[in-house]
Amino acid sequence: MPLLVAQILVALCVVIGASDAPPAHAQEATEGVEAPAPPPPPPAPATAERQGEIRFADGSHYVGQIRGGVMHGPGTLTYANGDTYEGDFVEGRQDGRGIFRYADGSRYDGDFRDGVRSGQGLQEFADGAQYEGAFENDQFHGEGTYRHPDGSTFAGTYEHGERRSGTRVYADGSRYEGGFTEGQPNGFGKLTLQGGDVYEGDFVAGRRTGQGEYRFADGRSYEGSFRDNQFHGEGTYTHPGEATYSGTYENGRRHGTGTLTFANGNVYVGTFADDVMAGTGTLTFANGGTYEGSFAAGTMSGSGKLTLSDGATYEGEFVDGQREGQGTFRFADGSTYEGGFVDGQREGQGTFRFASGATYEGAFLNNQFHGEGRYIHPDGNTFTGTYENGKQLEGQATLVYSDGTRYEGAISGGQQTGEGVLVYADGTRYEGGFQNGNFHGSGILTYANGVKLEATFENGAATGRTVTTYPDGTRVESE
């Protein structure tokens, strides 16, 4: 530096002296005098790398290789906030291999480019999470593996810090393979749950939504539409050994129209509500029988028509799958019953018409005549009385014959036995004892012409003393 200053001063003196000479003799004055040498250029900045230290105005501090006054080569940069970087620098920026330790305990060990994480590296977070793989522009980008603190992992492709596709293994052992958006399963994927259930299909924002197939570990399966992790829309559910349903779902439950095929061969086609048969439909039984009508809570309930395999039909009311209320049952042989039912049995008041032409009108219990009733024979004879478990009881009854003859009195074993009154169609009247349908015991027989016979009868014939009274008052007694 002293030599350079002396040279500059000499040059200045020369320039000053020359300026004092008159302009007219300038050429003359300089003849024979040697011109001074030009000044040397200023020295260029040092380009050699050397060890040094830089303290920045914000409090950051660097120790390491320096070139041209900037960080260049290996070194350690400590930031004012406590972060540190130890590794390679190029022209003042992290570039190459290095380790960045964050003040919160996080750590990155890997490649840098132009001051940011780019290339391959390992990022360890303060909470225990860890990412190992490709980086670009300070973000996860490319293939990598992320390990969560709870033990779950993701291995796959990242794009600008976001997961795009790969395999996510959850802490409970569940596993998802497929597309991702904003960190959640999105698009097509396969989810295998810890218990063995498997879903393969569409995802939206981490939830099963769209078309897919769900296979349960126990062999059940569903294929169709999903919304918010539930069966929703059209789908088919198969339960081996139980049933198969094809139809509409709403929020995970059968709702709308569908077909339910049972393992025993029964088939229901109709409407559903809250996961069970409800509304109207047709149930076809494996044996050929059918039911058409109303359903509630999964059973025949309401009004409907039941056709049995032998051709018999019931049309009327049902409750919980049983004939209950009023209805008409038509037997295969042509007999019919119209009246009340309880728990599938004829009960209450009703009319039973036999194929033979006989008719019973009255009370029923457990499918039998029971209580007060009237039995009309095909020939027109009528019995009115009390029945128990399908049989006529002993007691008072009324018999009306087809020719108009009428009996009112005691009955036993289906015949007049005991005291009673028998009025014939022609007006003849008997009042007295009966046995097995015959006059028996004391009685009065009044003929249509007015003749009255008082006698003791045995098997229909008068015996012993008799008294006959004629219309004119004549009275005849005989033995």
pLDDT for residue 8 is more than 50:
no
Beta strands 153-159; 184-192: pairing state? unpaired
pLDDT at 413: 80
Q: Average pLDDT, stretch 249-278?
A: 98
Please give the pLDDT value at position 44: 55
Task: Give the integer Cα–Cα distance in Å for 420 and 443.
Answer: 9
The one-letter amino acid code at 338 reads E
- pLDDT of the residue at 227: 99
- pLDDT score, position 431: 96
Percent of the chain with pLDDT over 70: 91
CATH architecture for segment(s) 394-479: Sandwich (2.60)
Token couple for 297: 């809570």
**What confidence tens digit (pLDDT) does each residue in 30-46 have?**
344 456 677 777 655 55
Percent of the chain residues past pLDDT 90, beyond the cut = 86
Helix (H, G, I), strand (E, B) or coil at 430: strand
pLDDT in tens, 57-88: 999 999 999 999 999 999 999 999 999 999 99
Exposed/middle/buried for residue 83 (C-beta within 10 Å: 0-12, 13-18, 19+): middle
Query: 1: Cβ–Cβ under 8 A, 6 or more apart, which residues?
Result: none
Model pLDDT for residues 94-131, shown as the tens digit of each residue: 999 999 999 999 999 999 999 999 999 999 999 999 99
pTM: 0.74
| Contact by Cβ (8 Å): 80, 72 | no
Give SS3 for 221. strand
Q: What is the pLDDT of residue 157?
A: 98
Q: Of 293, 289, 230, 239, give the one whose Cα is nearest residue 261.
A: 239
Question: Given this model, what pLDDT does residue 32 score?
Answer: 43
CA-to-CA distance for 325 and 213, rounded, in angstroms?
A: 45
**CB-facing half-sphere around the CA of 340: CA atoms within 13 A:** 13
Kindly list the domain boundaries of the chain, sorted by start residue.
1-38, 394-479
